[in-house]
Amino acid sequence: MATDSLGNAYVCGARVPALSSLQFFAAKYSGGGALKWKNTLAGGGSSKFNFARAVIATGDGVYAVGIVARPRHGQDAALVRYKR
């Protein structure tokens, strides 16, 4: 979890849309706990291994890093930038 200077909180992890899959997930909550936005990234191939591991809020955006599956190529690291 990360916070910004305005009191917003950013979380990351995995979303489970089906029993056999995971999606890279990041979300922003206001200081009062209201959901502001959420985003998922569903790599390719076996989606059992798509997940965000860390999130950081900076002056120019929010960054989440994690793992996504690639068809026939295993896994890759993923770095995703979101607008605050």
Global confidence as pTM:
0.82
Are the C-beta atoms of residues 12 and 54 closer than 8 Å to each other? yes
**What is the predicted pLDDT for the residue at 74?**
77
Return the ∠ at Cα 16 (arms to 14 and 19), rounded to 5°. Answer: 140
19 compared with 6, residue with greater pLDDT? 6
* Number of structural domains found in the chain: 1
pLDDT in tens, 25-67: 899 999 999 999 999 886 665 566 788 999 999 988 999 999 8
Alpha-carbon 52 to chain mean position: 5
- Asked if the model's pLDDT at residue 76 lies above 70, the reply is yes
**Domain with 42 in it:** 2-82
Across the range 4-29, mean pLDDT stands at: 87
- Asked if the model's pLDDT at residue 24 lies above 90, the reply is no
- Asked if the model's pLDDT at residue 19 lies above 80, the reply is no
